[in-house]
A = this chain, B = another copy of it.
Amino acid sequence: MNNAHVFPVRVYYEDTDAGGVVYYANYLKFAERARTEMLRGLDAESSRLIEDEDVVLAVHHCSVDYLKPARLDDMLEVHTRLTKVGGASLNLEQDVMRGSDDVARMKIRLVCMSLSGRSARIPAGLKTKFNNLLNSNEQV
């Protein structure tokens, strides 16, 4: 994944299950942490979007391919790349890596929603930032 946002994740006991590996739902937590930090880098963290723009970005769809198990004390990285910016939605790909090994591959669709829960257009200033990020991803 070229030009991806990279976010490190350490595996703690809380993340694992009795199979000795990271519990399958917890990759979605890792992915959300990484998206949050990517957005924070654009000055668009969750609490600021709610306060200043009256919107949230909610997950509308996700799919996960589990390729290799991750284990206690593993040092992982979530590589996040924006793949599409729509009027009211964003598509992203997120790979969880351990060194050069692909541990899990995710596709995520976020929708922009008003605080009352309706679909909403992405605010213009934010959309410009997303498009800039999308272009920088593609220019590789």
Query: Which residues of A approach B to under 8 Å, CB–CB?
Result: 10, 12-14, 16-21, 23-26, 28-29, 32-33, 36, 45-48, 56, 58-66, 69, 71-73, 117
Contacts and interface: CB of A to CB of B under 8 A. Distances in A.
Number of copies: 4
> A-side binding surface: helix, strand, loop or mixed?
mixed
Contacts of A19: 13, 56, 58
Contacts of A13: 17-19, 23, 32, 36, 46
A25 B18 contact: no
Given A13-B19, A33-B12, A24 B72 contact: no
A28 B25 contact: yes
B117 A59 contact: no
